[in-house]
A and B are shown apart, each in its own frame.
Chain A
Amino acid sequence: MDFSYYFQYFLSGLTNGSTYIIVAIGFNIIYNSTGIINFAQGEFLMLGAMTTVSYLKFMPLALAIICAVFTTMLIGFLIDLLFIRTLHKPTVLKMIIITIGLSIIIQELALHIWDEKVKTLPYFTGSLDTTIKIFNAYISPQVLWVLGSSIFIIIILNLFFKYSLIGKAMRACAVNKEVARLCGINTKNIISLSFIISSGIGAFAGCVITPLSQVQYNCGTPIAIKGFTVAILGGLGNNNGAIIAGIFLGIIESFSILFLPLAYKEAIATIILLIILICKPSGFLGKKELQSLKEF
């Protein structure tokens, strides 16, 4: 096999990997401000894509995507409002169970609102047949959209957390919520904001990947598991780690076809998840002391 073949696999891995990175960042943002792992994270991607499909019926693609992202952000906000804020005695167990329950409810509602069929979105530029030639490999322009938007999201978030006042407030909450509160930061709003951001980037990532891998009412869970694997691999709460871990998982999955039957590709993420949980739950780049979970 020549270089262009490998490059193809590499790009495919990178593409999937960047979706996983966005999901992982979504996990991290919510985890950092609340200590909760949001099992419903994958559903945000699904909702983003599904609502775009619906909006597409009466508006152009770009507008549909924008509306869908806002709709999903609203849903994320509602989830925080209705389920997270109202919790009286939050414990880790309760939060796990609630987000699992929410994940199921959202999936089933999606099944009844849309249907069980696989749906897709039009390519942002070009169509199914359009290809761009890079290094002798033919790739769809959508791949560039996925990679580009992921990089864009990562850069924007980096700038946001580093330089904006709200971003710094969120980082403060991540480190120590009690002290953040003492500094006058309204932590409840920060939590809402983290849900809004996570659902927003998730929705957008869902839209941008759908022309390539389609969307179905129950596609949220497998994506969430992979995103979670990436988040843990990179160290829970560590966005930079997530980037490296996401690229790693995407590429391993992609190249796995060379040695394993296709049926096992799905299981790779789960196996890596188990291995990392058993050997080093704090991930590649996480510190051992950070292994203890945050209190809600």
Chain B
Amino acid sequence: MVKKIIFLIFIFIIVIALQKILTKYGIEFYLTQIIMSIYYTICILGLCLLMGYAGQISLGQAGFFAIGGYTSAVLTTLNLMPYFQQNNKFILFLIKLNAAAFREDMFGEKILTITPFAAFCFAIIFSAIIAFLIGIPVLKLKGHYLAMATLGVGIIIYRIVLGTQIFGCADGIYDLPEFKLFANLAISGSSKLRVQNYYIAIVILSIILILLYNLINSRIGRALRAIHTSEDAAEALGINTARYKLYVFVISAIIAAIAGCLLTHFNGGISPAEASIMKSVKYVAIVAVGGMANFYGVMFMGIILQFLSLRGYFGSFDDLIFGAILVAMMLFSSEGLFNIFKLRKKYE
């Protein structure tokens, strides 16, 4: 218990120190890539729950990230002004609920769009529903078949966002408004709010991490780990494996969608690349190298690798490196590099 608290204080100090140092040396802009890495890592943690703990492989995680991001993007940029001018009752109702609001777009024109918060809620619910509907048939599959089915789902989502007008086709969607939170805080790409956004991202990451840890160390968590090792034995003990796999799939998708939403607001836009298979594969690579069933390991490797990738340290070899990581991890240490530092919660 004491060890855990010391570790947390240590992390706390590093987090703050990092920001202070970057600010002091005038390279605060590094924070931008760090923030992006954090949001990608949140998405990857969702995959870690699904793959590492529940043992279900998914090559389509980027698809759910994109569903979250694109839904937010579309809703917060779609101009509902024409409906307002026609006195459409539904639109007026939305305005009353504060779900729709007036703002200025990047050309200075006054437009009416769904508020970021309402869009966020809708995106989460929407992703959950899609994950639920997809999960029901797909999770009956195992091994290769499951991998291929999730790959197929990812491809279809990619093709949809790439080919549909409302999603901006190859250009994607841009000009998203800030996502205003409470007390003057906002998720935004503006450089003035960069430090603020760093802490916001850290807090959200922490919340997700805590929730995931709570889940894993509970009765449900045991059931999930049981399903991973021996689905038959789990069933024989009364665990409804089909339903649990579905719920985990949906939760993993929701986490990806949350990350997608928030990062899209931070970036101010989204493009089809976020839904690409390569992204899904990268996420799988990071879960593998982080230790499969090891949230801290995946988190560290996620932030570090994504940061390096985003800052371009891997250059044109970016995809190659992630491919090589996958192969190397499977050959040499399928437990991931980070299991040496793995924090195990011991039962007293």
A, B bound: yes
Contact residues of A with B, CB < 8 Å? 37, 83, 86-87, 89, 92-94, 96-98, 100-105, 107-109, 111-112, 221, 225, 228, 232, 263-264, 266-267, 270-271, 273-274, 277-278, 281, 293
Q: When the two chains form their complex, are residues B156 and A37 in contact, meaning their CB atoms are under 8 A apart? A: no
Assembled-state Cα–Cα distance A267/B284 (Å): 23
A105-B327, A225-B155, A232-B148 are known contacts; what are 15 more A-B pairs with Cβ within 8 Å?
Answer: A92-B144, A96-B143, A97-B288, A98-B331, A101-B327, A109-B320, A112-B320, A221-B277, A264-B159, A267-B156, A273-B152, A277-B145, A277-B149, A278-B138, A281-B141
CB distance from A86 to the nearest CB of B (A): 6
CB distance from A93 to the nearest CB of B (A): 6
Any A CB within 8 A of the CB of B285? yes
Q: When the two chains form their complex, are residues A270 and B155 in contact, meaning their CB atoms are under 8 A apart? A: yes
Contact residues in B for A267 (Cβ distance below 8 Å): 155-156, 159
Output the nearest chain A residue to B280 by Cβ-Cβ distance.
A100
A-B contacts at CB below 8 angstroms, number:
110
Output the nearest chain B residue to A271 by Cβ-Cβ distance.
B156
CB distance from A270 to the nearest CB of B (A): 5
CB distance from A293 to the nearest CB of B (A): 5
Contact sample, A vs B, 9 pairs, CB 8 Å cutoff: A87-B330, A93-B143, A101-B285, A101-B327, A101-B330, A108-B320, A109-B320, A232-B145, A277-B145
Assembled-state Cα–Cα distance A102/B288 (Å): 15
Contact residues of B with A, CB < 8 Å? 55, 57, 59, 137-138, 140-145, 147-149, 151-153, 155-156, 159, 163, 277-278, 281, 284-285, 288, 316-317, 319-320, 322-327, 329-331, 334
Contacts A97-B288, A274-B149; A102 near B327 (Cβ below 8 A): yes
Set A96, A104, A264: member contacting B320, Cβ < 8 A: A104
Contact residues in B for A108 (Cβ distance below 8 Å): 317, 319-320, 323
Assembled-state Cα–Cα distance A112/B145 (Å): 32
Q: When the two chains form their complex, are residues B331 and A83 in contact, meaning their CB atoms are under 8 A apart? A: yes
Contacts A101-B324, A273-B152, A281-B141; A112 near B331 (Cβ below 8 A): no
Q: When the two chains form their complex, are residues B148 and A105 in contact, meaning their CB atoms are under 8 A apart? A: no
Contacts A89-B334, A225-B155; A112 near B323 (Cβ below 8 A): no
Q: When the two chains form their complex, are residues B149 and A96 in contact, meaning their CB atoms are under 8 A apart? A: no
CB distance from B50 to the nearest CB of A (A): 12
Q: Which 7 A-B pairs have the closest CB atoms?
A: A104-B323, A101-B326, A108-B320, A101-B327, A278-B137, A92-B143, A105-B323
Q: When the two chains form their complex, are residues A293 and B334 in contact, meaning their CB atoms are under 8 A apart? A: no
Output the nearest chain B residue to A221 by Cβ-Cβ distance.
B277
Contact residues in A for B329 (Cβ distance below 8 Å): 97
Assembled-state Cα–Cα distance A228/B148 (Å): 9
Assembled-state Cα–Cα distance A270/B153 (Å): 8
CB distance from A123 to the nearest CB of B (A): 32
CB distance from A94 to the nearest CB of B (A): 5
Contact residues of B: prevailing secondary structure:
helix
CB distance from A136 to the nearest CB of B (A): 35
Output the nearest chain A residue to B59 by Cβ-Cβ distance.
A100
Q: When the two chains form their complex, are residues A274 and B152 in contact, meaning their CB atoms are under 8 A apart? A: yes
Assembled-state Cα–Cα distance A101/B141 (Å): 22
Assembled-state Cα–Cα distance A266/B160 (Å): 12
Output the nearest chain A residue to B326 by Cβ-Cβ distance.
A101
Q: When the two chains form their complex, are residues A97 and B326 in contact, meaning their CB atoms are under 8 A apart? A: yes
Chain B CB count within 10 A is highest, among A83, A104, A263, A277, for: A104
Contact residues in A for B285 (Cβ distance below 8 Å): 101
Q: When the two chains form their complex, are residues B324 and A105 in contact, meaning their CB atoms are under 8 A apart? A: yes
Output the nearest chain A residue to B151 by Cβ-Cβ distance.
A225
Contact residues in B for A92 (Cβ distance below 8 Å): 143-144
CB distance from B171 to the nearest CB of A (A): 16
Q: When the two chains form their complex, are residues A293 and B142 in contact, meaning their CB atoms are under 8 A apart? A: yes
Chain A CB count within 10 A is highest, among B141, B148, B159, B163, for: B148
Assembled-state Cα–Cα distance A30/B138 (Å): 25
Assembled-state Cα–Cα distance A58/B292 (Å): 48
Contact residues in B for A94 (Cβ distance below 8 Å): 330, 334
Set A86, A270, A293: member contacting B156, Cβ < 8 A: A270
Q: When the two chains form their complex, are residues B319 and A97 in contact, meaning their CB atoms are under 8 A apart? A: no
Set B57, B138, B319, B322: member contacting A96, Cβ < 8 A: B57
Assembled-state Cα–Cα distance A105/B329 (Å): 14
Output the nearest chain A residue to B140 by Cβ-Cβ distance.
A278
CB distance from A18 to the nearest CB of B (A): 22
Assembled-state Cα–Cα distance A96/B55 (Å): 14
Chain B CB count within 10 A is highest, among A93, A101, A102, A221, for: A101
Set A97, A98, A273: member contacting B148, Cβ < 8 A: A273
Q: When the two chains form their complex, are residues B327 and A98 in contact, meaning their CB atoms are under 8 A apart? A: yes
Assembled-state Cα–Cα distance A273/B60 (Å): 15
Contacts A83-B327, A96-B147, A274-B153; A104 near B281 (Cβ below 8 A): yes
Assembled-state Cα–Cα distance A4/B59 (Å): 42
Contact residues in B for A102 (Cβ distance below 8 Å): 323, 327
Contact residues in B for A278 (Cβ distance below 8 Å): 137-138, 140-141, 149
Assembled-state Cα–Cα distance A114/B35 (Å): 36
CB distance from A73 to the nearest CB of B (A): 21
Contact residues in B for A104 (Cβ distance below 8 Å): 278, 281, 319-320, 322-323, 326
Assembled-state Cα–Cα distance A39/B61 (Å): 18
CB distance from A238 to the nearest CB of B (A): 15
Contact residues in B for A277 (Cβ distance below 8 Å): 138, 141, 145, 148-149, 152
Assembled-state Cα–Cα distance A111/B156 (Å): 25
Contact residues in A for B316 (Cβ distance below 8 Å): 111-112
Output the nearest chain A residue to B153 by Cβ-Cβ distance.
A274
Contact residues in B for A101 (Cβ distance below 8 Å): 285, 323-327, 330
Contact residues in A for B156 (Cβ distance below 8 Å): 267, 270-271, 274
Output the nearest chain B residue to A281 by Cβ-Cβ distance.
B145
